[in-house]
Structure 1
């Protein structure tokens, strides 16, 4: 049974499907949900907890081997050297799991939660066209995901300044940036990381229309990302692992060297856009044919 009423039938009665489910209304609904409040609280408390942890611990010696691999120990060593370095470390520490879960939560829960509450069939019976419902839900979910990706490093920058000052950022490969250069590098990092989160959003959104269980959608997207990261760590898979969706997840580290290296970030951007387009297309195709009643 198909609940949808055709657009022509709706217009005959003076009803305009294009005016249903305004993005502003959906945005307010999502902002009022407890899960959004919990996410905001986590994003605000995490940089503070990291800063207090650094304050409570004594600084350790830097790793003497700085060639090539500076992603982990050296970013941690430089985290207390100023606000920008602290924001970069917070981004590095959060990108592999926390931000993945939060983006999956916003994008995987948005449709699946309506199905689990049995309100999805009533939304479509208003009628809200299926394509419009997906579009409005996705716009709001991506907006909240982008907000999470921007809020964390921005707040970490403020907390880092309060705890460790506003000294010029230092590169893990040596040298330092002016304040303007450091902020530009941070913007590149946040922009690229936000684009990479589009892959998680597309995966979670696809699982969200495939299942009526919000946790299944969130967990499924997170599991795929974790599995991709595990496979990417197996060097024996070369050269095929460069086609894994998360292979270039940390290509933004090329932006914190003495000069910005764009090659891997361009490859990573192209890869994530292709994967995301496919996942979103499959989600749209499936939802148009989904039996909402059953």
Structure 2
């Protein structure tokens, strides 16, 4: 039986910043089946596209206009760029929504959230650990795709420069640097989906509701962006800037649209993250 002195000593040694360490939370999330499945899907996508090009022949056959997809088999850099182009619209949304939307809601669905808070883990500390790990896994997922695609494309089509659809080429070193910029922009542009999923995760006990809600609202934003009748109102939609990274794979890159897309995404994300922390601090946790 603990004495009052033992309890006082334990209280004196308590440090809120040491509860739920990031390393422990990261290992927990890495061991989950959904993390392994999503990583496997992203790892397999370049091989699927490689087989598709091998079976279907050279891309762009019979087309009068050349686009980025038509240059997929020119070099490893082109193959990586095509993989990013194919996945940016929807596929990359899913792991971001999954890693950030499943994090808090899954604890509630397992009825373990209240036990974490009784450990005691401060609410802000719990959300911070969950958010950081969710964003780290999201970044890893976005980086994994072009990394594997570049390796697969280089093995299949050789290193070579990045051939541009508009004519000209970028040397290998410049191409790698531009692909790094593209990958970073894709991650920043997905912060809105991450923040939306995280906020929903603090509002519901159903992980599928948080993940599905974030994916659904992201898709709705993309659909609204196609409605030209909205005019300039489309510029306030994050989806309007999701392909601004194409300006980085030009002979002379243009940064204006990428800067606007970045500022809009970060602004929306900060607001949603703030709402998540504020709402969870006042929430009656019973799960």
Which TM bucket (shorter chain)? over 0.9
Query: For structure 1, which runs of at least 5 residues remain unmatched after alignment?
Result: 1-8, 67-73
| Match in the other structure for 1:185 | 178
The Cα of 1:58 is off from its aligned counterpart by 1.9
Tell me whether 1:21 sits opposite 2:14 in the alignment. Answer: no
Q: Find the aligned partners of 2:170 and 2:152 in 1 and give their Cα distance.
A: 20
Tell me whether 1:58 sits opposite 2:51 in the alignment. Answer: no
The Cα of 1:14 is off from its aligned counterpart by 3.5
Aligned partner (choices 155, 158, 161) of residue 154 of structure 2: 161
The Cα of 1:39 is off from its aligned counterpart by 1.1
The Cα of 1:246 is off from its aligned counterpart by 1.6
| Match in the other structure for 1:237 | 230
| Match in the other structure for 2:261 | 268
The Cα of 1:287 is off from its aligned counterpart by 0.3
| Match in the other structure for 1:287 | 280
Query: How many residues end up aligned between the 2 structures?
Result: 279
Aligned partner (choices 69, 78, 81) of residue 76 of structure 1: 69
Q: Find the aligned partners of 1:145 and 1:78 in 2 and give their Cα distance.
A: 28
Within 5 Å, which residues of 2 pair with 1:118-197? 118-197=111-190
Tell me whether 1:111 sits opposite 2:104 in the alignment. Answer: yes
Contact 1:172/1:256 (CA < 8 Å) preserved in 2?
A: no
Contact 1:10/1:17 (CA < 8 Å) preserved in 2?
A: no
Query: For structure 2, which runs of at least 5 residues remain unmatched after alignment?
Result: 1-7
The Cα of 1:194 is off from its aligned counterpart by 1.0
The Cα of 1:63 is off from its aligned counterpart by 3.4
Look up the SS of the partner of 1:141 in the other structure.
Answer: helix
The Cα of 1:12 is off from its aligned counterpart by 4.0
TM-score (norm 1): 0.92
User: 1:26-46 CA distances to partner (integer Å, 9 max, x unpaired)?
Assistant: 011011111111111111111
| Match in the other structure for 2:246 | 253
The Cα of 1:11 is off from its aligned counterpart by 7.4
The Cα of 1:13 is off from its aligned counterpart by 5.2
Q: Find the aligned partners of 2:159 and 2:15 in 1 and give their Cα distance.
A: 54
